[in-house]
Amino acid sequence: MLIEFESVSVSFDAKTALDNINLKLDQKRIGVIGLNGSGKSTFARLLNGLIAPTEGTVTVGDINPATNPKAARQQTGFIFSNPDVQIIMPTVIEDVSFTLRSSKLSKDEIRSKALATLERFGIAHLADQAAHSLSSGQKQLLAISSIMVGEPKLIVADEPTALLDLANARLVSRVLLEQIEQQVVLVTHDLELAAKCDIVLLFAGAKLVEVGEPAPVISSYLAQN
Amino acid sequence: MRALFRPGASPLHRLAVAPKLLILIALVALLSVFGTNPTAVLAALAATTAFYKIAFPADGVSTLAKQIWSLKWLILIIVIPQVIFGAAWLPVATNALRLAIAIALATLFTLTTASEAMQVAIERAVGPLKRFGIKPETVSLTIAMTINAIPMILQFAKQTREAQLARGAKPSITLMTVPLLVASLKYADDFAEALAARGVEV
């Protein structure tokens, strides 16, 4: 799916969060790196309409997320760094089923689809557990399941491994980069993870400073900091 | 005290929400009427123990004991002033036990009722208010999210207390209020964004 940014700028009060971004992306695994406050998360939030550009136009597929956020959120699933804030319902199965609440499926169909998704990500045995009793890694897998059950075309993950230990971070990374067939935009400080992407975007001071193959972009980032 | 649904196949799990709620209300009402009689309260304790055993054959008694133990501070707050003002021990103990049993029965209701079933029942109960512009699904979703937020707030309180202890401060409600409020507001903000990302308009 084509992601297109045309002269996109974002400002909050008097502060520029993104400055004149022009970009076309259709790669399957897109890494986004940069220091804190460089504009990475703002870039990610534009993709499903959580933030609207102050100037310019964002297009994801055929959808402009700023003018059609509802369609954008059906098309684009968003994974946050803190798994706790993403859990809406008390139990694991209910949280996954919640995504399908507006579908025309029957209750039994919703449950079996939710269970199949949990099975796919290896947490079906936790279906009836309280979501908050899970480990951080399991919660992040639950967040991924809750998004994947809605069959989005694009997954945006904003530092999904930031709060996880090494084993869980590896597990979630493997799921995002290898197990999911959809297009993934991965905002990360983990350069090993970024190196596995097809293309890497480097942000600095609200600007997109480099785009290209992972190795040279990551080397440039390391050289600058 | 935090009680969430525990899956099971007992008759109490299978009982529909509405009759189960009516039985709970009836039992609590009976406790209120006959609750000053120590024998009646002991009988109620025996019945509650039996209900827990039916619901959770493997660990019903210990589950009930844990629920009652988690009420220790509340019971102390109620009992101490009565003892200070010279009330006789038997009525004080009877009253405390009556309160513990009532809460344990309410907890048994949540332990044996899936939140999904509870939501359906709430939506049905709130249904007639549709004509006044109240959306039943919004009411049930709000209740589900509130249940979900309780463990998070408890976790913030625990983290705040630990941070204060680590810095040598004696935990107090005054010291606790601001950091807990800030953490809760930050959580509310992030949660609202996550809700929007999952297509819920807030």
pLDDT tens for A50-67 read 999 999 999 999 999 999
**Side by side, which strands form the sheet with A55-60?**
A15-25, A3-12, A55-60
Contact (CB<8Å) B144/A88: yes
Instruction: Read off the tokens for A135.
Output: 């480990």
Non-local CB neighbours of B144 within 8 Å, separated by 6+ positions: A88, A89, A90, A94, B115, B119
Instruction: Read off the tokens for A211.
Output: 């785009």
Asked whether residue B111 carries a pLDDT value surpassing 70, the answer given is yes
Q: Which of A198-212, B13-27, B73-87, B187-201 has the highest mean pLDDT?
A: A198-212
In sign, the C-alpha dihedral spanning B5, B7, B10, B16 is positive
Asked whether residue B172 carries a pLDDT value surpassing 80, the answer given is no
Percent of chain B residues past pLDDT 70, beyond the cut: 97
| Beta strand extents in A159-206 (DSSP E only) | 183-187, 199-204
Give chain A's contact residues with B (Cβ, < 8 Å): 48, 50, 69-70, 73-74, 77-78, 80, 82, 84-91, 94, 97-99, 102, 128, 130-132, 146-147
CATH number at residue A159: 3.40.50.300
Residue of B nearest to A48 (CA): B197
pLDDT band at B67 (very low <50, low <70, confident <90, very high): confident
Instruction: Read off the tokens for A1.
Output: 């799916």
Amino acid type, A143: A
pLDDT band at B186 (very low <50, low <70, confident <90, very high): confident
Contact A208, A202 (CB under 8 A): yes
pLDDT band at B59 (very low <50, low <70, confident <90, very high): very high
Contact A23, A44 (CB under 8 A): no
Average pLDDT of span B98-122: 87
Mean pLDDT of chain B: 85
Q: What pLDDT is recorded for position B201?
A: 67
Contact B198, A98 (CB under 8 A): yes
Q: What pLDDT is recorded for position B2?
A: 47
Average pLDDT of span B61-71: 90
What's the distance, CA A105 to chain centroid?
Answer: 26
Residue of A nearest to B148 (CA): A90
Q: What pLDDT is recorded for position A188?
A: 94
Give chain B's contact residues with A (Cβ, < 8 Å): 4-5, 7, 114-116, 144-145, 147-148, 151-152, 187, 190-191, 193-200
Residue of B nearest to A155 (CA): B197
pLDDT band at B102 (very low <50, low <70, confident <90, very high): very high
On chain A, the residues whose CB falls within 8 A of the CB of B4 are 90-91, 130
Q: For chain A, how many structural domains are there in total? A: 1
Contact (CB<8Å) A91/B197: no
Q: Which of A70, A91, A145, A185 to mutate: most B Cβ within 10 Å?
A: A91
Residue of A nearest to B118 (CA): A90
Q: How far apart are CA A121 and CA A148, in angstroms?
A: 10
Q: How far apart are CA A83 and CA A79, in angstroms?
A: 8
Contact (CB<8Å) B144/A94: yes
pLDDT band at A10 (very low <50, low <70, confident <90, very high): very high
Residue of A nearest to B156 (CA): A84
On chain B, the residues whose CB falls within 8 A of the CB of A82 are 190
- Of A136-145, A182-191, B156-165, which gets the smallest average pLDDT? B156-165
pLDDT band at A213 (very low <50, low <70, confident <90, very high): very high
Q: Which of A162-171, B4-13, B57-66 has the highest mean pLDDT?
A: B57-66
DSSP conformational letter for A178:
I
Mean pLDDT of chain A: 92
- Of A40-49, A86-95, A142-151, B140-149, which gets the smallest average pLDDT? B140-149
Q: Which of A48, A97, A130 sits opposite B197 (nearest CB)?
A: A48
pLDDT digits (tens, 9 = 90+) for B113-169: 887 788 888 888 888 888 888 888 888 888 778 777 777 788 788 888 877 777 777
- Of A117-121, A124-128, B193-197, which gets the smallest average pLDDT? B193-197
CA distance A111 to chain B (A): 11
Q: What pLDDT is recorded for position A117?
A: 94
What's the distance, CA B57 to chain centroid?
Answer: 22
For A143-156, give one letter per residue: b (16+ CB within 10 A) or e.
Answer: bbbbbbbbebebbb
- Of A30-34, A53-57, B42-46, B150-154, which gets the smallest average pLDDT? B150-154
DSSP conformational letter for B61:
H
Instruction: Read off the tokens for B18.
Output: 């509405």
pLDDT band at B202 (very low <50, low <70, confident <90, very high): low
How many residue pairs bridge chain A and chain B with CB atoms within 8 Å of each other? 71
Q: What domain range includes position A146?
A: 3-224
Q: Which of A90, A102, A147 sits opposite B144 (nearest CB)?
A: A90
